[in-house]
Each structure stands twice: as C-alpha cells, then as structure tokens.
Amino acid sequence: MAIRTKEDLIDKIASDHVWRIKEISELKSLIESRTLSKSKKNVLCRAGVALLYAHWEGFVKKTGSYFLEYVSFQRLPVADLKSNFVTLMLKNDIDEATKSKKYSIFDKLTDFLITKQSNRSKIPFKNVVNTESNLSTKVLKEITWCLGIGYELFESKEKLIDLKLVGRRNHVAHGEDLPVNAGDFTEMAGEVIGLMNTFRNLVENSAVLGEYKRAI
C-alpha cells in the first residue's frame, strides 16, 4: 500500500520501529540474565554488536525510504519543494549530461528549470537511501541531506557511531577477536535506541510540519 498520508507514514515507521526495539530489548534481557555463564554472555555480546548495527542501518534505510515515498505521493509543484528533492528528481539527467560532455545535452535540465516549475513533482524513492552497507556518519550526513532533515543532532554522536557502533561491528564481522562485555552491550543498546528515536523524530516532524516544502 502506497504511503499517501502522514498517518500512513507514521504507522509504517512505528511498525518497523517496534519490532526492532523488542528484539534489542529481548537480547539485552538475555545478556543480563544470571543463568548464563560469562563466556556465553560474551558470545552473545559480540553477536549483539552486529545485531545493533543491523537494526540501526535497517531502520534508517526503511524510514528514509518511507519518507521519500510519502513526499513523492504529495505530488507538489516542483517550485514548492526544497531543492534537495528537486536534485533527486534530476540526478539521472545530470549524470547523463555530465557523461556526454555536450552542452546540448544539458538543455533538458535548463528547460526543466525554466519551464517546469509548476509541474507536479515525481520524486524517486526506491533505492535512493543508500547506506552503503556501512552507515558511518559520512554516509548518514548524505542521507539526511537527501531527506532534507537536519544532521546537527547527530554531531555529538559521531565518535559513538563511527568507533563504537560501525567500528566494532566491522571488527566482529571480519572475525577479529574484539572483546565486548555485558556493560558495553547495554550501553550500546541504549545509544542505538536513542539514535533510532532521533532519526524517527526528525522524519516524522518534517512530515507533520511540512518541512520538506520550500520556505516562502
């Protein structure tokens, strides 16, 4: 079902969010259980690092794609959109024109900018949010730009994301002997849930407040 209303968007995001939080919480409870040996907990903690990263990346990708679908189905006039959405619309044409190196090929872009501002927009939303299977802050910043939402709230979390979340996940994924204890996992779980909540709030606020529209 297409995401056409704010309610559709919020429901979709909530549905994706709730199962991720539940899974993280259940693993956290298991790790904190007194019935497991220390060695078993350490194995779960290492596996948990990969799981936390997977939920962070998956949530950003799903939520971002849902949001783009919502904005796309608003079918606003091109002139009413923030410039980042217009760029998404024109990216393929820009790529084609750049490869050709012919001035005449750029005329399609020029004509669009001059004559199509009142046309209904058609924003692509499939495969636009690209986490590059490595959701570092550099990649996250690009994604927030594509969505037209602020990155500022993530600036204080850059070391956490790049070193503790992405860095540890890469060590585990590459089979390296990186020790992760229950305290480390509990701290990371709380931080990842916080990051997901922040991203969710930014997207939902943009939809509810119409922040994807060009300021007049």
pLDDT in tens, the chain (216 residues): 899 999 999 999 999 999 999 999 999 999 988 888 888 888 999 999 999 999 999 999 999 999 999 999 999 999 999 999 999 999 998 888 888 878 888 898 999 989 999 999 999 999 999 999 999 999 999 999 999 999 999 999 999 999 999 999 998 888 887 888 899 999 999 999 999 999 999 999 999 999 999 987
Tell which of 121, 156, 175 closes a domain. Answer: 121
DSSP label at residue 103: G
Domain that holds residue 98: 78-121
Q: Which tokens belong to 140?
A: 């996250």
In a domain, residue 170? The reply is yes
In a domain, residue 13? The reply is yes
21 and 110 together in one domain: no
70 and 87 together in one domain: no
Task: Give the residues across from 136 on adjacent strands.
Answer: none
Cβ neighbourhood burial of 36 (10 Å; 0-12, 13-18, 19+): middle
Q: Is the dihedral of CA 72, 77, 78, 82 positive or negative?
A: negative
Cβ neighbourhood burial of 156 (10 Å; 0-12, 13-18, 19+): exposed
Tell which of 91, 121, 151 closes a domain. Answer: 121
Asked if 146 and 132 count as a contact pair (C-beta separation under 8 A), the reply is no
Closest CA to 66 of 215, 207, 209: 207
